[in-house]
Amino acid sequence: MVSNRCDALKRNAIIAATSYRFEMKLDQEQIKHIASLARLGLSGDDIEMFSIQLSEVLDNFDILKQIDTTNVQPVAQIISIQNVFRDDKVEKSASQSEILDNAPMKEDNCFKVQSILP
């Protein structure tokens, strides 16, 4: 019961926090600001196009906000996921000497690598 109440409160908080953002439409100054944050260089035509397209995306969210989801349980995954396990089988592998024979440098039955620190 407490979990359902918490879920409802979280959902209402998210809607309240995002409702302002979804109600406003993006103008060219906002697109320029978003582009500068993303370090994108946009032409005037790009700014106009993204202003229209991103405003349409926000309009679609306004439509989705009208859907009654009061009886819908929140989910993280819509399909069931199960781990696929296989049996561990001991198989023959190469010996230490066979592996070290392929190494460009070796010392005391170990790989030797160049130092990376001065």
Q: pLDDT, tens digit, for every residue of 70-93?
A: 888 888 877 888 888 989 899 999
Q: How many helices (H) and strands (E) does the chain have?
A: 4, 2
Is 0.75 surpassed by the pTM of this model? no
Q: pLDDT, tens digit, for every residue of 27-40?
A: 889 999 999 999 99
Q: pLDDT, tens digit, for every residue of 87-106?
A: 989 999 999 989 999 899 99
- Per domain, the residue ranges of the chain are 2-65
pLDDT at 23 over 70: no
Q: C-alpha dihedral over 14, 16, 20, 21, to 10 degrees?
A: 0
- Burial per residue of 16-43, b for 16 or more beta-carbon CB atoms within 10 angstroms, e otherwise: eeeeeebeeebeeebbeebeeeeeeebe
CA nearest to 74, candidates 19, 23, 6, 2: 6
